[in-house]
Amino acid sequence: MENNRVRDFLARAMAPRGQIFGATAPPTVAHELTALLRLHVWQAVDASRLYGRDVSVGLLGVLSLLLWAMLDRLDFGPGAEFQQRMLYQNAVMALPILMSAWVLSRLSRPQVEMRQSLLLVLGFLPVFVAGTWLAMRLPLSGTIALIALVGVAAVRYFATGLRSLTGHRRQPAVVAVLFAALAMAFLSTRYHFSPAFWLEPAPDTAQTAKTHRDNEQLVFEQAARVSAEISTLAPRDPTRSNVFFLGFAGFGHQKVFAEEIGLAAKRIADRFGSAQRTLQLVNDKRDPRKFPLATTPSLRHALHSLSQRMNVDEDILFLALSSHGGKDGTLVVSSELGYWRDLEAKHLAAMLRESGIRWRVIVVSACYSGTFIEPLRDEYTIVFTAASADRKSFGCNDRRALTYFGEAFYRDALPQAASLRAAFEKARAAIIERETGEEITPSYPQAHFGKAIEQRLAEIEKRLSPLETAQAN
């Protein structure tokens, strides 16, 4: 008896409404889905095929939900578990969908019914879901190309749909829906909201305890490891001023900072022959044990130990730092092993004074990094920052190998520039041009050039021929 009732309910739901209520029959679910498929290839359809049956609307919503859950599953390991509670937590995503349908309905002329506009929006939703998932995993150029492709497809789809329903394309309605979709994507990124249905189960207690012990031991050993790394550096050449490189990649949850410090080390080695006098402190989620960890205590210890290897009155320290930054003059310091005290500009200045290292070139690649200039300013120091004290810098995400500043300064400008000043000015101009073209608030990289060290660097570069640089490396 119960099975008969279920079958009867489904038959009534799927049947044309005219067979149930005796009215003019709306299309079947199959007819509506077929019509939506035709709209995706930009073929106009009969308006009667876009009625917006309850079952069609519900089916399309469930299809998009299942598609997102399946794609989301690809980001997790084999032991991931489905979290039912996330279904209602992610129900908030229905609001922008309903809003888009309402806008489409209100701006169309003549107005289409809400059920029809909702059918159109849900008909395109699987494409939007798949495109959003893929865009989050592409490099910036690929993301831009994909957004353009999906945008063109959406314009054609909605314009064809409205023409089928009203006889007009109604471009304002189409543009409004696209704007709503972009706003939804922007807010999702801005507030770090990304619907997820899966969760990696916590490892067993014994394994967790062992991991914690291993991590504690690793952190405890950092001072010894920094000392060991410094002991392997080549001895200084007593016949000339030597350049030592120290890199610091503070935020380990994104690879871009580790990549930038790696390139910085190579570029300074190519220019000043510092390859065998290079130390990198790096937090990197891909391999947290490859380099000594980048922490404030590790940096203090590294500066002190390097000062013992250097002639602090003759040699030059090139210190490159890369991480997220704060308006209060701090660099974020964290990794998969834990969160540590952030590096403050005034503390970095104090560490350098304690080390006794006199000649310094310091590059700070981070948002608001201009806050580092004043605490570090003197005649024996050059300071480059990726942004002014009140501006953000850009390119700090996992889809990129380098930040905007890293690309412009280390990758593009430094290899061919006649001096560090020339390299910075070229990089600064390129960054401002790029950010202006992308219509984002320019970061305005800043610099301080101590007269004494700028003259000293010019003398070193003049003396250091390409052959000598190759021999030093």
Per-residue pLDDT tens digits for 310-364: 999 999 999 999 999 998 889 999 987 876 889 999 999 999 999 999 999 999 9
Q: Is residue 82 in some structural domain?
A: yes
Q: Which two tokens stand for residue 83?
A: 């979290």
Residues 176, 80, single domain; the answer is: yes
**Euclidean distance between CA atoms 296 and 215, whole angstroms:** 17
Residues 180, 243, single domain; the answer is: no
Residues 243, 131, single domain; the answer is: no
122 closest CA partner among 93, 145, 143? 93
Residues 80, 106, single domain; the answer is: yes
Taking the CA atoms of the chain, what radius of gyration do you get in angstroms?
30
Average pLDDT over residues 132-136: 81
Q: Is residue 17 in some structural domain?
A: no
Q: Is residue 355 in some structural domain?
A: yes
Residues 272, 166, single domain; the answer is: no
pLDDT band at 209 (very low <50, low <70, confident <90, very high): low
Residues 179, 244, single domain; the answer is: no
Please write the tens of the pLDDT for every residue from 224-239: 999 999 999 999 999 9
Residues 194, 275, single domain; the answer is: no
Instruction: Tell me which of 303 and 147 has the higher pLDDT.
Output: 303
**Euclidean distance between CA atoms 443 and 388, whole angstroms:** 6
**Euclidean distance between CA atoms 437 and 11, whole angstroms:** 57
Q: Is residue 403 in some structural domain?
A: yes
Residues 405, 451, single domain; the answer is: yes
Residues 244, 131, single domain; the answer is: no
Residue 191 neighbours by CB distance under 10 Å = 8
At 250, which CATH number? Answer: 3.40.50.1460
Q: Is residue 207 in some structural domain?
A: no
Q: Is residue 308 in some structural domain?
A: yes
The burial class, CB within 10 Å (0-12 / 13-18 / 19+), for 452 is middle
Residues 194, 218, single domain; the answer is: no
Which pLDDT does position 206 carry in this prediction? 62
Q: Is residue 125 in some structural domain?
A: yes
Residue 6 has pLDDT above 90, yes or no: no
How many structural domains does the chain have? 2
Residues 321, 361, single domain; the answer is: yes
377 closest CA partner among 387, 366, 385? 385
pLDDT band at 69 (very low <50, low <70, confident <90, very high): confident
Q: Is residue 2 in some structural domain?
A: no
Lowest mean pLDDT among 44-48, 211-215, 298-302, 313-317: 211-215
Q: Which of 199, 224, 246 finishes a domain?
A: 199
Residue 459 neighbours by CB distance under 10 Å = 11
Enclosing domain of residue 222: 212-472
Q: Which of 166, 199, 232 finishes a domain?
A: 199
Residues 186, 320, single domain; the answer is: no
Q: Which of 176, 199, 222 finishes a domain?
A: 199
Please write the tens of the pLDDT for every residue from 149-191: 988 898 899 989 989 998 876 677 777 777 777 666 665 555 4
